[in-house]
Amino acid sequence: MTKHTEKRHELTWVLGEQQLGPLEKYFASALEINGHNVRFHNIHDLYPNSWRRLSSYSHRLPRKYDNALSLKYISVVNQSILEKFKAEKPSLIFIYNDCLITPETIDHFKKNDARIITFLGDDPNYIQAGKKTFLLTTLNSDAVIVPDTGWIPGLKMLGIKKLIFSPIGTDPGIFHPVQPSETDLRDFSSDVLFVGTGYYLNAWGIKRAQMLSALSDLNFKLFGDKQWLELLPYFPELKRNFVNRTLTAGEVNRACCCSKIYPVVVNSGVINGVSTRIFDSIASGIFVLAEYKSDLDLLFPDGEIESFNDRDELRKKAKYFLTNENEMKERTSKAREIILKKYTLDKLVGDILEQI
């Protein structure tokens, strides 16, 4: 575990964009444990709440209207950030993905002696609606934290010199075993649990639904947003499992403590990486069946994480472990021990700080 220090640094910023499971906020807390004076800003607090829905759908409009709305949205975010920068004068800025921060804003930060570190949750080389300048943010950073070894060759090809490989890890203050309440058991109790977005009717969403449909006849609860509603007509077997409810990080933790198996099915932008859900779920105490990615072998060389390669293997292993619960508990205990020893955010952030 990284040792706490009495030394306090000049102000460090963490800029984030997630709402329900704000990894960026946990990252900020880990920086504080490692001696930094931190201020966290979520870009969604910088504009009217009513804009959020429009910004999520503007990419479906004709390009000139989408561009006009995006420019207005980005302008407001960057102007607000620049005003805060002038008032607070941070010397070190961590940006999760891009947070809509423009190259011009990053240039201003640098001219005023701030160092810029991007920590990636997604691959900036992979086109995503609403993240049109994501790669520019990455290219203009002083260092880039990468959680997926499969993204590194593409970033090196673009000339990025300072790449720091680090898994995402977990915050055990958020994800840990708890005694479920009667309400928790009523809402969440299941043999198999999955929590996540549906990605709409596209390749990512179809892949996720196809994989999880292999578990539809089990005691399986699937919590997700309304993006799943576009998929369910094509995967009607999942209608019995689907609960149209998004969960906070605390609710995810309690749901894990009410269930037995968490199948981790990642989006198609993950090449080799280990999903944050693997770390969080195991820290909560639930057994994980993880879609196989080669970084699992790097981070868990003794095979502490059980994986699957296709939907048939996912189903077969889920049924096997549901009838072998003692083995499942033993495997979870060993995996959790490794995660608490090596892959908590305060430990990982300490290692990152030594490299920047």
- The predicted-structure confidence for 201-239, as pLDDT tens digits, reads as follows 999 999 999 999 999 999 999 999 999 999 999 999 999
How many other CB atoms are found less than 10 A from the CB of residue 56?
Answer: 11
Task: Tell me, yes or no, whether 140 and 24 share the same domain.
Answer: yes
Neighbouring CB atoms inside 10 A of 356's CB total: 13
Q: What is the CATH number of the domain that holds 109?
A: 3.40.50.2000
Supply the range of the domain harboring residue 91: 11-165
Position 356 in a domain: no
Identify whether residues 241 and 320 lie together within a single domain: yes
Domain boundary among 165, 191, 210: 165
Report yes or no: 135 and 124 within 8 Å, Cβ to Cβ. Answer: yes
Whether residue 355 is contained in a domain is answered as: no
Please give the pLDDT value at position 17: 86
Beta bridge partners of 243: 223
**Residue 48: which residues within 8 A CB-CB, separation 6 or more?**
none
Domain boundary among 165, 193, 217: 165
Residues 160 and 236 in one domain: no
341: three-class secondary structure by DSSP: helix
Same domain, 190 and 320: yes
CB 39 within 8 A of CB 11: yes
Could you give the strand order of the β-sheet that contains 259-264, starting from the edge strand earlier in sequence? 242-244, 220-224, 190-195, 259-264, 287-291, 306-308
For 29-60, what is each residue's pLDDT tens digit?
999 999 999 999 998 888 776 666 655 555 56
**Statement to judge: residues 267 and 313 lie in one domain:** yes
Say whether both 153 and 187 belong to one domain: no
Burial 96-108 (b: 16+ CB within 10 A, else e): bbbbbbbeebbeb
If asked whether residues 150 and 32 sit together in one domain, one would say: yes
Low-confidence ranges of the chain (pLDDT < 50): 1-7
Cα dihedral 61/64/70/73 (nearest 10): -100
Asked if the structure places residue 236 within a domain, the reply is yes
- In a shared domain, residues 217 and 112: no
Number of domains in the chain: 2
Examine the domain organization and report whether 223 and 311 are in the same domain.
yes
Q: Which of 101, 130, 165 represents a domain boundary (last residue)?
A: 165
Nearest CA among 341, 222, 220, 214 for reference residue 282 = 341
- H or E stretch including 243? strand 242-244
Alpha-carbon separation of residue 187 from 221, 247, 264, 354 (angstroms): 10, 11, 20, 43
**pLDDT (0 to 100) of residue 237:** 98
By the 10 Å C-beta count (0-12 exposed, 13-18 middle, 19+ buried), 319 is classed as middle
**Residue 190 maps to a domain:** yes
Q: Is residue 354 part of a domain?
A: no
Q: What is the pLDDT of residue 10?
A: 86
Tokens describing residue 238: 């999942």
Structural domain includes residue 351:
no
pLDDT of amino acid 68: 63
- Model-level pTM? 0.89
Q: Return the closest-CA partner of residue 220 out of 196, 189, 257, 184.
A: 189
Give the length of the chain: 356
145 plus 245 within the same structural domain: no
Q: Are residues 187 and 335 in the same domain?
A: yes
334 plus 190 within the same structural domain: yes
